[in-house]
Structure 1
Amino acid sequence: MPDISQCIWLCLAAAVAGGVNALAGGGTLLTFPALIAAMRALGYEEDLAAVLANGTSTVALAPASFSSAWAYRQDLMKEWKWLKLLIGPSIVGGVLGTWLVTSTNPKYFGALVPWLIFGASLLFALQPLLTKKKAIEKADLPQPVPEHSLGKLMAIVLFQFMVAIYGGYFGAGIGILMLSALSLIGLSNMHEMNAIKTVLAGCINCMSVLVFTYKQKIHWPIAAMMMASAIAGGYLAAAFGRKVKPIYIRWLVIVIGFTLSAWYFYQRFTAK
């Protein structure tokens, strides 16, 4: 196990990440780098440390999705039909993505880490544009949801399947992608959209947990320690999210994400 100061830092990162995921997404940008540092401190080789950090982060944050969903339960029932449509592709895609990251050489995932963090940070920064700012500003107003053709419904399912594959592979930013898709469907109430997003993210992460467990890519003592903090952070953020504007947390995550991606790029390109 890491020393006491690092354990405190890991629990704090998990709590904030659980809250960030409940409100928008991007919590992995906090837990993943903290876990890489912890794995390095425990003596794991660089690329294997990244894979272990990925699996451990997924396990730590997965239950927080469902604690957030419970807090959103009243909003969730209003859009139950979309949840039923998208759960299937979320489960299958989550399994495929996680199987891919655990079945390939760790060096490939290690090489992708800077790009994955940068891409997730960019998605997080562009979230107001991707989720239509006007819809966000009218989050508390009931908005009609248009009818969709079979072709558009299939496109929505396919998009969610691709998001789930990415979520199983890495995960950071899937909340932003799903909020973007839900806004394109015609949903505009952010509380209802967050409710659907948290359940779908939970399905993806649960499938990832099963595969990571089977492939033995999880540091269980650290994961268990972080899990309780993430659950508390996710529930509190969802419960009080209506009263608190998450703008400051959002920008903190954005700054951290871009800074970390720059640091990992520097490490990759200067490594001998």
Structure 2
Amino acid sequence: MTATGAAAVVATDVHKAYGDLKAVDGVSFEVAEGEFFGILGPNGAGKTTILEIIEGLREPDRGEIRLLGESPWPRKMALLPRIGVQLQASSFFEKLTAREQLATFGSLYGVGAAKVTDMLELVGLTDKADTREDKLSGGQRQRLSIACALVHDPDVVFLDEPTAALDPQARRNLWDVLRAIQDRGKTIVYTTHYLDEAEILCDRVAIMDHGRILAMDSPASLVRGLDAPTRVQLEPGVLPAGEAEQLPGADEVSADDAALTIITRSPAKLLGALSERGALGGLQVRTATLEDVFLQLTGREYRA
């Protein structure tokens, strides 16, 4: 974490309702300068609404937002050059190449050609600089969208589900871009549905549902607080289930055609006992993840 301790974003008891729907219901948090802060939650949790309020795109019903020490609403022209925004759906100018897109966005802030070239290199699009936007792949278009949000060198970058609908390779490629952005000292506030990437990228996360923050901490601290057992899986036939039940540290044993599963809260003891018996064939160990925290807090039902 490269946060400096000073607050780039402060949200205090923020509310936003649409009729009877409380999209944001008393949300409070701070984001330090240089921090990578994630807002997680199921569909309809209020993630995009709170992000748009912080960006100054929506007025809160009540509560206070301070963005780089100022209120973003009503919109302040002096704040705009200091923030970069990448929305869920990005629109580009028709028939322009990647370089021309960036140059056009940059011209709004007086950015020169050298900065455009730097941004193309940062997001890995140097070899696509002269390719039209509509000829780029989905991952390349997302990287171009992020470059447009960064071309004027903002202090705070807002990314709303930047890896949505990308294939695994493109998504991981974009992770490198996001790390490079933070390495430049930028504050990043982003929303995502992908808990694995939030666990890897974020210094802290806030888990939202029904307009409220249910938990907020570093991913590692949230996982530790869950106090979930460890699951150890072995290939079928490596060890009889009855013998597995007698192993030190084995709390629960189940077996099927695919695997023998042992649930334990003392994994060191259990793994030591398995090693002594030479029963490590096909061993897989699964500890709790941020996904487990998320599901415990928000439930498992599907929401469209």
If asked which structure has higher relative contact order (CA below 8 Å, sep 6+), I would say 1
Instruction: Specify if TM > 0.5.
Output: no
Q: TM-score normalized by structure 1?
A: 0.28
More strand by share: 2
Q: Which has the larger radius of gyration?
A: 2
Q: TM-score normalized by structure 2?
A: 0.26
